[in-house]
Structure 1
Amino acid sequence: MRPEEFSTILQAAVAGSHEALEKILELYEPLINKHSWINGKMDEDLRQYILIHIALNISKFDI
């Protein structure tokens, strides 16, 4: 993905586009999953917590 494409998607997500937020979450899924492990196993509750916080706070991004 080119930087211009990412910028457009991020701006749309910050503006409230559900499709754009979904694309951002897809893009960062490997990183989210990486940080969702506790004691050697995937913690689905932690993963959900991370996803919810991204969704609730993306509108606060300063672009």
Structure 2
Amino acid sequence: LCQNLSWIFNNTKDKTSALIRLAKWYEKVRQATFKSFNTIARTMSIHYMNILNYFDNRSTNASAEYSTLK
């Protein structure tokens, strides 16, 4: 599941494909019932629209978030 999620982010070029692949990944996590994946799966389901923005230009706002932590 970890490797599959990494593959999605490294190899998916558009939001539509990302949405489909992430939904399938989420379903695999749900079916696997691994408690260790519950947090990330919940985060993905709550924030999926913001997460999908990554696939627009393959960037994040991590630097902006990091600067607010200082």
Confirm or deny a common fold (TM above 0.5): no
Q: TM-score, normalised by structure 2?
A: 0.35
Q: Whose helix fraction is larger, Structure 1's or Structure 2's?
A: 2
Q: Whose strand fraction is larger, Structure 1's or Structure 2's?
A: 1
Q: TM-score, normalised by structure 1?
A: 0.37
